């Protein structure tokens, strides 16, 4: 316990040195730059006042962040690691401000993009829910609709920099995008390999990016460089995957799935799961074994049986209960790592507020 | 080097498939720095760019998408793409292992590249640090 507390303090200090200290040094450099102006008394007083204010703000910010870094944090549900709409918007707006700062320092104009907070209420999420017999009768699994282009969708908001980028000559445009996203060169090229950062995701997949790009620098200033501990990082993904593995192995849920399969068989449908049924229908369609019309007919037939069996065998409640059990276990076993993610989220929110208050 | 071999337009949805030129994949594709989408597929600003590795290290096939797409099977890309790059400027990209945004997604920040073999079935865009998820069943 004591060892864990020490580790938490050490992690907090490391976080401070890695993320906050460089910014503090930048602030100090600004203060030093103000010193020669002492020859002009009026300017000097204003500069000194501004410097003092800035220093006070920096100290206050560091104090808030230090408290967050050292405060005990506990995670009870994985959903707690999902920021709410306001938090997401705050983080995005701050990130965009930092991108704009970075681009400005490289000689480019950049208009911050507004936060797109409608994602969670996306009409694309209005698919037929499992067990909804009425929806299954009219929509099936929603495959026909997605194939005929009638699936609800949404267009992303326009890019506020589009006109600016369009007006640039090709050379300037290439330089702009290099500043923003990094060189358009393969990370396999020896000339840029040293400039590439990478991270291993669960399952072995790598993610790699150019850490000197303005997108990456802004993100790093907001979230820190410890990618293991960010909300979308590998630790979070791994926790979710562990929950899903436990759900799939759960005895009660397995029995409910077996009952569902038996129910489907009684209705003449030999399928392992709803997703397998959808995948098979699509395969048959692309192989020319089904036309659009026969696909629709067939998917409604299977989806209605699926929904009936889902209700009859209690598959939904069985899955929810299995998920609950699995989540409790994963959260208990991964508490240290998950708390670190939550703490990092709180730190990022504090930094975001500071950026937007400037 | 690239020539478009197919273009398929849907309402508010676009998939541009490109046949690739002579570049051959060299070395192991599992290495972090192996040649992939970064080398084979041109940057298309505002899109999610992805590559389906060719058989036996041969030519791959590139695709570019904007908008949300609930079912990649609708344009023949179900469980097919292997390498992904977020060429978007206004959003982070999310890729999901199942249709209708189901399963545990991968969040791809702007400018980042990742590899996920033969898995992705839907994609979304977000300004949030995590991927949007449909309501739990």
- For the segment A223-234, what is each residue's pLDDT rounded down to a tens digit? 987 777 777 788
Backbone angles phi, psi at B66, to 5 degrees: -120, 175
Cβ atoms within 10 Å of A177's Cβ, excluding its own:
21
Backbone angles phi, psi at A330, to 5 degrees: -65, -40
Reply yes or no on whether the pLDDT at B131 is more than 70. yes
Give me the mean pLDDT over the A195-200 stretch.
85
| Mean pLDDT for chain A overall | 81
Confidence of residue A316 (pLDDT cuts 50, 70, 90): very high
In sequence order, the β-bridge partners of residue B124 are B94
CB B71 within 8 A of CB B99: yes
CB B40 within 8 A of CB B26: no
Interchain contact, B68 vs A184, CB within 8 Å: no
For residue B130, give the chain A residue with the closest CA: A232
Closest CA to B82 of B115, B48, B33: B115
Residues of B in contact with A91 (CB under 8 A): 128-129
For residue A117, give the chain B residue with the closest CA: B127
Q: What is the least distance, in Å, from the CA of A21 to any CA of chain B? A: 24
Interchain contact, B38 vs A187, CB within 8 Å: yes
> What does the pLDDT look like over A79-92, one tens digit per residue?
998 888 899 999 99
Confidence of residue B67 (pLDDT cuts 50, 70, 90): confident
pLDDT, residue B66, reads: 83
Cβ atoms within 10 Å of A20's Cβ, excluding its own:
20
Query: Best mutation site among A207, A247, A318 for testing chain B: the one with the most B CBs within 10 Å?
Result: A207
CB A114 within 8 A of CB A150: no
Distances (CA, A) of A245 to A44, A234, A322: 64, 16, 11
Interchain contact, A282 vs B73, CB within 8 Å: yes
Interchain contact, A316 vs B137, CB within 8 Å: yes
Q: What is the least distance, in Å, from the CA of A188 to any CA of chain B? A: 5
Q: Which helix (H) or strand (E) holds B19?
A: strand B13-19
Nearest by CB to A213, from B38, B111, B128: name it. Answer: B111
Confidence of residue A152 (pLDDT cuts 50, 70, 90): low
Reply yes or no on whether the pLDDT at A221 is more than 90. yes
Lowest mean pLDDT of A159-173, A338-352, B31-45, name the range.
B31-45
Closest CA to A75 of A349, A358, A344, A352: A344
Reply yes or no on whether the pLDDT at A294 is more than 90. yes
Q: Which residues contact B67 (CB under 8 A, 6 or more apart)?
A: A153, A154, A155, A156, B12, B13, B14, B125
DSSP state of B69: B
Confidence of residue A118 (pLDDT cuts 50, 70, 90): low
pLDDT, residue A304, reads: 97
Reply yes or no on whether the pLDDT at B30 is more than 90. no
Residues of A in contact with B134 (CB under 8 A): 125, 127
pLDDT, residue A195, reads: 86
This model of the complex carries an ipTM of 0.78
For residue B87, give the chain A residue with the closest CA: A181
B residues 92-121 closer than 8 Å to A (CB): 92, 98-102, 104, 106-116
Closest CA to B125 of A163, A57, A124: A124
Q: What is the least distance, in Å, from the CA of A253 to any CA of chain B? A: 14
Q: What is the CA radius of gyration of chain B?
A: 14
pLDDT, residue A69, reads: 67
More reliable by pLDDT, A201 or B22: A201
pLDDT, residue A321, reads: 97
* Residue keyed to tokens 């009409």: A123
Lowest mean pLDDT of A23-37, A175-189, B59-73, name the range.
A23-37
Give me the mean pLDDT over the B74-78 stretch.
86
Residues of A in contact with B35 (CB under 8 A): 186, 188
Interchain contact, B30 vs A201, CB within 8 Å: no
CB B96 within 8 A of CB B105: yes
């Amino acid at each position: 316990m004591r060892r864990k507390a020490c580790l938490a303090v050490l992690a907090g200090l490391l976080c401070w040195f890695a993320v906050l200290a460089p910014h503090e040094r930048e602030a100090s450099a600004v203060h030093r730059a103000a010193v020669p102006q002492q020859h002009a008394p009026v300017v000097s007083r204003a500069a000194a006042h501004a410097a003092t204010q800035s220093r006070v703000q920096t100290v206050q910010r560091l104090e808030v962040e230090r408290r967050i870094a050292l405060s005990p944090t506990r995670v009870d549900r994985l959903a707690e690691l999902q920021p709410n709409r306001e938090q997401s918007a705050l983080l995005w707006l701050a990130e965009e401000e930092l991108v704009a700062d970075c681009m400005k320092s490289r000689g480019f104009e950049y208009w911050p993009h507004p936060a797109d907070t409608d994602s969670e209420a996306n009409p694309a999420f209005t698919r037929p829910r499992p067990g909804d017999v009425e929806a299954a009768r009219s929509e099936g699994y929603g495959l026909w609709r997605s194939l005929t282009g009638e699936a609800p969708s949404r267009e992303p908001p326009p890019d506020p920099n589009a006109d600016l980028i369009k007006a640039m000559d090709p050379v300037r445009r290439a330089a702009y995008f290099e500043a923003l996203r990094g060189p358009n060169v393969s990370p396999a090229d020896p000339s840029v390999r040293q400039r590439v950062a990478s991270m291993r995701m669960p399952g072995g997949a790598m993610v790699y990016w150019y850490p000197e790009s303005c997108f990456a620098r802004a993100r790093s200033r907001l979230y820190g460089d410890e990618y293991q501990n960010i909300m979308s990082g590998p630790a979070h993904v791994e926790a979710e995957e562990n929950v899903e593995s436990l759900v799939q192995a759960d005895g009660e849920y397995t029995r409910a799935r077996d009952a569902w399969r038996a129910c489907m068989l009684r209705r003449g449908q030999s399928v392992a799961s709803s997703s397998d049924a959808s995948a098979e229908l699509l395969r048959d369609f692309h192989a020319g074994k089904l036309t659009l019309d026969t696909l629709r007919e067939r998917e409604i037939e299977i989806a209605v049986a699926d929904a009936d069996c889902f209700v009859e065998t209690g598959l939904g409640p069985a899955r929810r209960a299995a998920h609950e059990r699995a989540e409790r276990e994963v959260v208990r076993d991964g508490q240290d790592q998950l708390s670190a993610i939550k703490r990092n989220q709180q730190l990022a929110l504090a930094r975001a507020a500071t950026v937007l208050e400037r | 080097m690239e020539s478009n071999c197919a273009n398929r337009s849907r309402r508010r949805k676009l998939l541009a498939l490109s046949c690739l030129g002579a570049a051959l994949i060299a070395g192991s594709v599992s290495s972090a720095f192996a040649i992939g989408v970064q080398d084979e597929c041109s940057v298309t600003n505002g899109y999610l760019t992805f590559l389906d590795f060719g058989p036996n290290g041969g030519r791959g096939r590139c695709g570019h998408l904007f908008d949300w797409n609930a079912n990649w099977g609708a344009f023949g890309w179900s469980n097919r793409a292997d390498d992904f790059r977020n060429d978007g400027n206004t959003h982070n990209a999310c890729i999901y292992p199942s249709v209708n945004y189901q399963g545990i997604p991968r969040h791809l920040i702007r400018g980042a590249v990742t590899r996920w073999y033969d898995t992705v079935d839907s994609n979304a865009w977000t300004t949030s640090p995590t991927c949007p998820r449909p309501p739990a069943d």
